[in-house]
Structure 1
Amino acid sequence: MATEKILNGYYLYRPAAWISASDEDASGFLQSQFSNDLSGLRVGEVKYGLWLDQKGKVHGDSFILRSDEEEHFLMSYATNEASLLEKLNRFIVADDVELEGLADQHWGILLLGDGLKFVKNFELGNDGSAILSIENETVYCFPGRRCQQPSMELICRSEALPILETSVVDSCPGIYALSEATVEGLRVYSGFPKVPIDIGPTELPQEGGLEKDGVSFNKGCYLGQEVMSRLQSMGQVRRSLRVVVSDQVLEFGAPIYCENKKVGVVKSSISENGRTAGLALISNSTFEGSALCVGEPGSGTLLNLVPS
């Protein structure tokens, strides 16, 4: 399957959310809502995290980029901008915070493989992020979270996209544009959840492995913090997001059975050349080699777990 290979190229996309959070209380407000610790975030640095509810369920994710002392940008691959704005605005009471959705005014470029040569021309921070200036246009640069393969994300104003794309192509001879299907296949086969599609309002971060990089267990109070602390100290989840493969197309939301017992549900998937790779939320009691089927117990589409 082509999506298992190391990719060399770049992919143009519009982020689902690019939100400006500004004014003097912006830092404190975001810290009180975000699952990760922003207290030490310096200008030019980026932190990935989640937007949880009181039960610890996942309603969205984002990278938070600090652009100056009183402004941050929230970027998400798949969390809807309007939904995220609505969620955050509900919790602004006396805070001096201004939120503005700007996704329709920005574009992103994902860099993979030889495309990473582009960022070697710049001085990056300790976390791999930076605020770049390319022909007087501001470009936000930070490590991506789409796959196991190293990647970088570049975000710029829509008007600056032709300049940035030309600069990337000129810096990386032989680089080629990647399709959405190719990038999505790489994500799925790598086991990286798309939030809130694969891990969403009915799931906990731990079910998708998102707590490893997206949750702080040391910071103070934030929405969902009590549940996160309790899971960390006392419990474990019963389901995990796993990579599965099949010779048939997999339908989102289809039930998965093992010996006539429902053990999971299909999440996102992608098909290529008669083979389908997908993500599925499956009971931790299910092991590699288990006889799994999708659709109907004992007679549905056969499914195989990919070794972790």
Structure 2
Amino acid sequence: MKFIKGVAVNQPVFAVLDNRGLLHVSGEQAHSFLQNLVTCDVDQVAATGAGFGALLTPQGKIQFDFLVVKTAEGYLLDTPAPLVADLKKRLTFYKLRAKVALDDVTGSTQVVAVWRGKADGADGVHVIEDPRFEALGQRLYGPAETIEALLAQGGAKDAGIEGYERHRIGYGVPQSVADFGMGEIFPHDADMDDLNGVSFTKGCYVGQEVVSRVHHRGTARKRFVSVTSKTPLPDPGTAIETGGKAIGALGSSTRTGDGFKGLALLRLDKAGAALEKGASITCGQESVAIELPGWARFGWPAQETAAD
């Protein structure tokens, strides 16, 4: 490991994500069961070890989102901890006579994020690269004692959940519960298409027709983008405005360096028009700047397409 003025370069940083829960889907039909329900291609998850996906409402809105992790017996669904029981209940509704077992393993399996470096594997620990965006780092799943020893051996530094939130928000990656409620928005709104969370080739799943129509017609009107400010950003849900009219709302935010950064779900046409005109954009009483995340494949629509 190299050091510059006492600071380790590429020293792994980690956070125990006790705000995440885990549902294990196992059984001889676990693969086909999930493949027919979720937005991501479970064939690809089986091949690569991990994926990002969601279970949608029939109307195409995000009901639950999760990382999907391949295990020897099936798949782990890594989702916000408060939603595990509801996710299990919803999947049980779809289960019918399928040979599938659904087990909440939150208490026995720890979830840890590692970034700025790599963690090695160990017996009983699943190590994956975050399938949404490479710079987010790794996720580790396993017994707390084993992971603790593994990270200590690698010299990793504990940044806590707040450190992980700075990391996530800094890269402009939205997260359910923190940035949006369940059943409120579509996958394109949450940038899931650009974060490897939606397959447009695997075939049918719940809500697939709506998602496919939005994608092929290019009709996604709202997206999460990054918001920066020199002053602290207000509470989530605060309107983002230009010309006295709301164009969206703020999600989560954090301090980054000498400023503050957050995420906001905005009308792209209205936000793009404001940028074209050089108009002031505010959140609460403060001026803010907006920008697309570096990984985004979508862009600002032309000014003339903005609706009143």
Give the alignment's TM-score, normalised by structure 1: 0.81
Aligned to 1:208: 190
Structure 2 letter corresponding to 1:75: D
- 1:72–1:307 CA distance, 2 compared to 1 (3 A): closer
Structure 1 letter corresponding to 2:241: Y
Mapped to 2, the partners of 1:208 and 1:66 lie a distance apart of: 24
Look up the SS of the partner of 1:33 in the other structure. Answer: coil
Mapped to 2, the partners of 1:171 and 1:93 lie a distance apart of: 45
Structure 2 letter corresponding to 1:301: E
- 1:7–1:171 CA distance, 2 compared to 1 (3 A): closer
Gaps of 5+ in 2: 1-8, 294-308
Aligned to 2:297: none
Q: Match for 1:265 among 246, 249, 252?
A: 249
**Structure 1 contact 113–151 (Cα < 8 Å) conserved:** yes
Structure 1 letter corresponding to 2:151: V
Aligned to 1:279: 263
Aligned positions, number = 277
Look up the SS of the partner of 1:243 in the other structure. Answer: strand
Aligned runs of 1:145-164 on 2, under 5 Å?
Answer: 149=135, 151-157=137-143, 161-164=144-147
Mapped to 2, the partners of 1:146 and 1:233 lie a distance apart of: 21
In the alignment, structure 1 residue 227 sits paired with structure 2 residue 210? yes
Mapped to 2, the partners of 1:307 and 1:47 lie a distance apart of: 23
**Structure 1 contact 147–191 (Cα < 8 Å) conserved:** no
**Structure 2 contact 250–262 (Cα < 8 Å) conserved:** yes
Look up the SS of the partner of 1:91 in the other structure. Answer: helix
Per-residue displacement from partner, 1:239-296 (whole Å, max 9, x unpaired)? 111111221331111112110111111111124688431110111121344311224x
Aligned to 1:98: 101
Shift of 1:41: 4.4
Shift of 1:67: 1.8
Mapped to 2, the partners of 1:39 and 1:179 lie a distance apart of: 34
Mapped to 1, the partners of 2:29 and 2:70 lie a distance apart of: 13
Shift of 1:79: 6.6
Mapped to 2, the partners of 1:146 and 1:177 lie a distance apart of: 22
Q: Match for 2:88 among 58, 61, 85?
A: 85
Aligned to 1:127: none
Aligned runs of 1:232-251 on 2, under 5 Å?
Answer: 232-246=215-229, 247-251=231-235
Mapped to 1, the partners of 2:239 and 2:19 lie a distance apart of: 30
